Amino acid sequence: MIEIKDVTFSYVNESRNVLERISINVPKGGITTVLGLNGSGKTTFIKLLVNLLKPSMGTIKVNGYSIASMSIKERSKMISYVSQLTKNDHDFIVFDYLSFSLANCLGGFRAPTSKEEEKILEYANKFKIADLLSKRLSNLSGGERQIVSICGAFIQNTPIIVLDEPTSALDLKNQSIVIKAIKEWNRSKEKTIILSSHNPNHALSLGGNVILLDDSKIIKNGSVEDIITVENLKQVYGDIIDYAKNIKHNIIAIK
Amino acid sequence: MNKNVEKKYFTLLIISIVLLICVVLLALIIGRFSISIKDVVNFIVGKSDSNSLNHNVILKLRLPRTLMALFVGCALSLSGIVYQETFQNRLVSPDILGVSSGASVGIALGLLVGVPVIFISLMGFVFGILSMISTLLLAKVFYNKTPMILILSGVIVGGFMTSILSIIKSIANADTILPTITYWLLGSFDKTEISDVFIIAPIVVISATIFVVIKWKINLISLGEEEATTKGIDYKKYRLVIICVATLLTASAVAFSGVVGWVGLVIPQIVRIMIGRNTKYTIPLTITFGALFMVIADIISRSFFQAEIPLSAVTGFIGVPIFVLILTFKKTEVNVRD
């Protein structure tokens, strides 16, 4: 479904490549977690997927079409994007904010009609956030805020959803809520979800595939079972990682 | 879900339009020369004697300046709100891109050289636009994509223009030209003629129509480039259109009325407190409330003292307390970013 070929990226005026000759195919359906340390190139990888950054070399294709040559509208019908939780919160009402996700299917300059807005209620019920609809975004907790953003990505109705560290800046409880929610909503595997994280536990919890990034390169990729091993993780995280196999659910612990 | 907000919006819109009509009528009546309601009604229905003093005071003095106040109020508050949304900063005002300082230089230069009055506004307008272009070009040189860099470039260009203005003032004749420059730049509608209204009216009407048409999409622009683009909006194109149209509005307002502060800052805040953040509602309400505020400010500026009070002083006296109140009681409303 997503075909990344020989992609290299460096910022203008910087000689160091943030990503170097990345090639990988992401299959349709299911979840793929991009794992790596801070500065390994995760966010750059995610932003290249949504064309917010453009590769210095190489191509990214979705269903055979280069994403760089798609129009902004075409791309927004193909891939939706959830950014990292930042401090500069918008103080829109949640309902209004979610209505912005309908922009990609509206012609001209108009706002969505009340009939089109019914979709917001439908998804809000599905995501169990109907009680948040009349609140201000700035009054939500970090976890609620991220769930609203992810709900927006589903309302945008794209086959691919890309999330940049959806759990960063969240406490442990909220991390778990967001991770469980992503897993739950994609049980039917109708969407292709790609997210970045620095925590291997998230990949374990989500299942699916993992791309292990280190020092600008993909060092491993494949199913969670194959990739999340002590040897592989030690390559990225060093000796601080301990794999606690005796616990019922596999958990990666810090020594 | 949105029914209540929609109801409130229409109520506020109707109230503000009715108030605006009342205040405009009041503006024709109030003044040092007393005119009765009957005279104003006769004037409106076309039954007043065209040779009478009352008729001429309304037609040549009060109507032009009241209409000018109305359009300048629309222009400044509208450019204020769209700049604030685009730059994601509630404390941005219409002169943010150096437009007002540029227009001031144009006007001062016009007065210094002694060009005919009609061209003075035009020079203000041209210099305002030139300043905006300089700001955009300067921002490109910095090679930084954040909205903050545009604001910074605006400060630089504005500062440079202020220096030029100081030079012009220092070489202007201290007895004749300097007082004229100073008075003009303090802001006033007392030199307004009906021909000026015919120039500014189409600019404001067309610009306001553009913003009303794209009012909902301005919400998405206020989310920033990443979110807007991934939600299917051509951010760069919209931002360019918004900045150009808002600059046109600011430059024309300054060209005809001088530098009038506070309107572009305070009116959007008041409107947001009343109706919330959604630009689908705030844009139209900013137009009506901006016009209302300015017509009232003009009535005050010319009615209370023997000499006219500069507009900036009036808008400052009204605007500052309102702004302090907003900051004190609605801390969450004023969200300073970047």
Q: What is the pLDDT of residues A171-216, one digit of tens each?
A: 888 888 889 888 888 877 788 999 999 888 899 889 899 999 998 9
Q: Is the pLDDT of residue A162 over 60?
A: yes
Band the pLDDT of B330: cuts 50, 70, 90: low
Question: Mean pLDDT, to the nearest integer, of B266-288?
Answer: 95
More confident: B93 or B15:
B15
- pLDDT band (50, 70, 90) for residue A250: low
ipTM over the 0.95 cut-off: no
The predicted pLDDT at position A246 comes to 43
- Please indicate whether, in this complex, the C-beta atoms of A93 and B226 are within 8 angstroms of each other: no
For the segment A110-129, the average pLDDT, to the nearest whole number, is 91
Integer angstrom CA distances of residue B112 from B98, B107, B165, B259: 21, 9, 11, 18
- pLDDT for B338: 33
Q: To which CATH superfamily is domain B2-334 assigned?
A: ABC transporter involved in vitamin B12 uptake, BtuC (1.10.3470.10)
Q: Which residues from A are below 8 Å from B220, CB to CB?
A: 100, 103
Provide the shortest C-alpha distance from residue B156 to chain A (in Å).
25
| Residue bearing the bigger pLDDT, B86 or A169 | B86
Residues of A in contact with B223 (CB under 8 A): 90, 100
The pLDDT of residue A253: 63
Domain limits, chain B: 2-334
Residue A139 CA from chain centroid, whole number: 24
Q: Are B87 and B135 in contact (CB under 8 A)?
A: no
Check CB contact under 8 Å for B277 and A90. Answer: yes
Q: Does A44 touch chain B (CB under 8 A)?
A: no
- A104 contacts chain B (CB < 8 A): yes
What is residue B132's predicted lDDT score, i.e. its pLDDT?
A: 87
Name the closest residue on chain A to residue B231, using Cα atoms: A76
Q: Do B230 and A50 touch (CB under 8 A)?
A: yes
Q: What 3-state DSSP class applies to A40?
A: coil
At A88 the pLDDT is 57
Q: What are the pLDDT digits (tens) for B150-207?
A: 888 999 999 999 999 999 999 999 999 999 898 888 888 988 899 999 999 999 999 9
Phi first, then psi: give them for residue B33, nearest 5 degrees.
-90, 120
Comparing alpha-carbon positions, the chain A residue that sits nearest to B337 is A88
Q: Is there a contact between A117 and B1 if contact means CB atoms under 8 Å apart?
A: yes
A50 has a pLDDT exceeding 80: yes
**According to the model, what pLDDT value does residue A241 have?**
63
> In this predicted model, which residue has the larger pLDDT, A7 or B188?
A7
Cβ <8 Å between B280 and A52: no
Which chain A residues are within 8 Å of B234, Cβ to Cβ?
72
**How far is CA B260 from each of CA B93, B105, B200, rounded to the nearest angstrom?**
11, 15, 16
Which residues pair with residue A8 across a beta bridge? A57
Q: What pLDDT sits at residue B105?
A: 95
Nearest to B1 among A50, A91, A133 (CB): A133
Q: In this complex, do A90 and B276 lie within 8 Å of one another by their Cβ atoms?
A: no
What pLDDT shows up at residue B328?
81
**Interval B44-73: pLDDT, tens:** 888 888 888 888 888 889 999 999 999 999
Cβ distance B277 to A91 less than 8 Å, yes or no, reads yes
pLDDT at B237: 95
Q: Does A52 touch chain B (CB under 8 A)?
A: yes
Please state the rounded mean pLDDT for residues A70-88: 88
pTM: 0.90
B280: chain A residues, CB-CB within 8 Å? 111
**Any chain B CB within 8 A of the CB of A95?**
yes
Residue A89 has pLDDT above 80, yes or no: no
Q: What is the pLDDT of residue A243?
A: 61
Residues of chain B neighbouring A100 (CB-CB closer than 8 A):
219-220, 223, 227, 231
Contact: A93, B223; criterion CB under 8 Å? no
CA distance A142 to chain B (A): 17
Number of alpha carbons in the 13 Å side-chain half-sphere of residue A99: 24
The model's pLDDT over B209-227, given as tens digits with 9 standing for 90+, comes to: 999 999 999 999 999 999 9
Q: Does A92 touch chain B (CB under 8 A)?
A: yes
Q: Does A50 touch chain B (CB under 8 A)?
A: yes
Looking at chain A from residue 145 to 174, which residues have their Cβ under 8 Å from any Cβ of chain B? 156
SS (H, E, C) B195-257: HHHHHHHHHHHHHHHHHHHCHHHHHHHCCCHHHHHHCCCCHHHHHHHHHHHHHHHHHHHHHHH
Identify the residue among B1, B272, B279 best suited for mutation to test binding to A, counting A beta carbons within 10 A and taking the highest: B1
The sheet carrying A2-9 orders its strands as A19-26, A2-9, A57-62, A65-66
Amino acid at B200: I
Chain A: nearest CA to B253, how far in angstroms?
A: 27
Which residue in chain B is spatially nearest to A105 when comparing CA positions? B232
Condensed to tens digits (0 to 9), the pLDDT of residues A20-46 reads 999 999 988 889 999 998 888 999 999
Contact A100 B337 (CB under 8 A): no
Q: Write out chain B residues lying below 8 Å of A96, CB-based.
A: 2, 219, 276-278
Residues of chain A contacting residue B230, judged by C-beta atoms under 8 Å apart: 50, 52, 75-76, 79-81
Lowest mean pLDDT across A20-24, B48-52, B101-105, B271-275 = B48-52
Check whether A6 has a pLDDT greater than 60. yes
Q: Of A240-249, B106-115, B308-317, which range is least confident?
A: A240-249
Nearest to A103 among B143, B231, B333 (CB): B231
Q: Nearest residue on chain B to A161, judged by CA atoms? A: B230
Does the structure show a pLDDT above 60 at B331? no
d(CA B278, CA B224): 15
User: What is the rounded CA–CA span in Å between residue B56 and residue A23?
Assistant: 80
How confident is the model at residue B116, as a pLDDT? 84
pLDDT band for position A242 (cuts 50, 70, 90) = low
